[in-house]
Amino acid sequence: MKITILDDYQHAVKRLNCIKLLENQQVDIVNYTIKNDIDLAGKLAGTNILVLIRERTIISESLLKLLPDLKLISQTGKISNHLDLAACTKYKIAVAEGVGSPIAPAELTWALIMNTIRKIPQAIDGMKNGNWQINIGSTVHGKTIGIWGYGKIGQLIAQYARVFGARVLVWGSQVSRDKAISDGFEQAETKETFFKSADIITLHLRLNQNTFGLVRLEDLLMMKSNAVLINTARAELIEKGALLTFLKAHPSNFAGIDVFENEPIYDRYFEYLGLSNVICTPHLGYVEENGYELYFKKAFENVMNFIKGNPTNIANPEVLNL
């Protein structure tokens, strides 16, 4: 069977130890993104198994109907709204779901917190330009870190904050808040209290119909005058245009952003990059060596099990009987 792996921007897949699982298979690795369905379908002609790197490629019905040879999509990480599972089932394409880890995204979140409040990138740029100590940042110690979404990543952030001597304030579902209280942290009584009280707000929600555009401009306007917003979850959690509008109007507020509405971004004049109160990273949350080995090992195991006639972790098992 022909196996195609999409969107390997960093040419990382061929260097993974787990690539050995696909020995003796016909493997095509694509190192760039193809947005147009017709062009992508042309590239995928004859592909029987497609391996996706997280949500980098949109798998829509309009694409699937152009791929008559496709039998399996093996997802690295969990299935999200980038993939139309119902359409996959309609076209008799099995979807194998992978595994995830909260460690790399939690660590990147913490790195963005440290960099924004200490204003480290700005100080580095100043030094590169021949200047010395151009700014002054602050510490995490004694700050209130607001965590919206107390899942696996949010829980790690809370533990990091505790070690650094910060107060943790959790907002989200009642289940999340109850869990935070049981772990010894505080819950916000209202969303308004959450935004008004936190020095640092970090988002850790899954993107779905209920969370799309959940953070609105009116929420951001409630933040303290020097508060920081961190988003390593999904750009679409924030109302379209709201964060950019807020940051341009409030230069004393900072943001650390790892996720964007349209990725990848190759435009050096991308508007966020021109703001001195924003730190941007190119969606590095899950992009890390150990995490990649974990994600791809499971994805490749699912591929080989499918080829051997013993499919595993199929999200739409009904297609196996069609």
Task: Confirm if 158 and 132 have CB atoms less than 8 A apart.
Answer: no
Is 11 marked active-site? no
Residue 84 is given by DSSP the state -
β 278-280/26-29 pair status: unpaired
User: What's the farthest any 2 CA atoms get from each other in the chain?
Assistant: 68
Q: Which residue shows structure tokens 């910060």?
A: 166
β 200-203/26-29 pair status: unpaired
Residue 139 is given by DSSP the state -
| DSSP codes of every residue in 196-246 | HH-SEEEE----STTTTT-B-HHHHTTS-TT-EEEE-S-GGGBPTTHHHHH
Residue 21 is given by DSSP the state G
Identify the active-site residue in 97, 177, 234, 239.
234
Identify the active-site residue in 61, 186, 263, 293.
263
Is 263 marked active-site? yes
What backbone torsions phi and psi does residue 225 show, to the nearest 5 degrees?
Answer: -65, -20
Identify the active-site residue in 54, 177, 204, 283.
283
Is 234 marked active-site? yes
The residues assigned a catalytic role are 234, 263, 283
